[in-house]
Amino acid sequence: MHTHLRRYGLAFITVFVAAAVRCSLIPVLGYRYGFAFFLVSTFVSGRYIGLGPSVFAVLAGTIPAVVLHFIPPGQHFDSYFQIAMIVYLFLGAIVVVLCNSEHKVRLALQREIAERKVVEDFIRASEARLHGILDNTTALVYLKDLEGRHLVVNRRCEELFKMRFVGQTVHDLFPRDIAEQWEAHDRTVVQTGNPIQVEEKVPHDDGLHTYIVVKFPIKDINGSVVAVGGISTDITDHKKALDALEAEQELLRHTLEVQDHERQLIAYEIHDGLVQHATGALMQLEAMRDQVESAPIAEQIENVLGILQKTVAEGRRLINGIRTPVLDDWGVVAAVEQLIDDEDRAYVQIEFVKDEGMARMPPNIEEAIYRITQEALTNIRKHSQAKNVRIELVRRGDRVHLEVRDWGVGFIPSNGARNVHGLKGITERARIAGGRCTIESKPGEGTRLVVDLPYLGIS
Burial 346-374 (b: 16+ CB within 10 A, else e): eebebebeeeeeeeebebbbbbbbbbbbb
Specify whether the CB–CB gap between 187 and 144 falls below 8 A: no
SS3 (DSSP) at 279: helix
Query: Which CATH number does the domain 138-234 belong to among 3.20.20.80, 3.60.21.10, 3.40.190.10, 3.30.450.20?
Result: 3.30.450.20
Burial of 83 (0-12, 13-18, 19+ CB in 10 A): exposed
Specify whether the CB–CB gap between 374 and 339 falls below 8 A: yes
Output the CA angle 100-98-47, nearest 5 degrees. 50
Please write down the HEC assignment for all residues of 47-87.
HHCCHHHHHHHHHHHHHHHHHHHHCCCCCCCCHHHHHHHHH
The neighbouring-strand residues paired with 145 are 227
SS3 content of the chain, % helix, strand, coil (to 5): 60, 20, 20
For 365-384, how does the pLDDT look when each residue is reduced to its tens digit (9 = 90+)?
Answer: 888 898 898 888 888 888 88
Specify whether the CB–CB gap between 411 and 380 falls below 8 A: no
The span from the CA of 308 to the CA of 280, in Å, is 10
The kind and range of the H/E element at 264 are helix 236-269
Task: Give the predicted TM-score (pTM) of the model.
Answer: 0.46
Residue-wise pLDDT tens for the chain (459 aa)?
545 555 655 555 565 566 666 565 556 555 555 555 555 555 555 555 555 665 555 555 555 565 555 555 445 544 444 544 455 455 555 555 555 666 666 777 888 888 888 888 888 887 777 777 777 788 888 889 999 899 888 888 888 888 888 888 988 888 888 889 999 999 999 999 999 999 888 888 888 888 999 999 999 888 899 999 999 888 888 888 887 877 777 777 777 666 666 666 666 666 666 666 677 776 777 777 667 666 777 677 777 777 777 777 666 666 666 666 777 778 888 888 888 887 766 578 889 998 877 888 888 888 889 889 888 888 888 888 888 899 999 988 889 999 999 998 888 876 544 445 567 878 888 888 888 999 888 888 889 999 999 987 444
Specify whether the CB–CB gap between 372 and 350 falls below 8 A: no
Question: Where along the chain do its domains lie?
Answer: 2-113, 138-234, 237-323, 331-454
> Maximum distance among all alpha carbons in the chain?
183
Q: At what angle do helices 363-379 and 332-342 cross, to 10 degrees?
A: 20
Domains 138-234 and 331-454 share a fold: no
Give the HSE-up count for residue 381: Cα atoms under 13 Å, Cβ half-sphere. 14
The top-level CATH class assigned to 331-454 is alpha beta
The neighbouring-strand residues paired with 227 are 145, 218
For 56-91, how does the pLDDT look when each residue is reduced to its tens digit (9 = 90+)?
Answer: 555 555 555 655 555 554 455 444 445 444 554 555
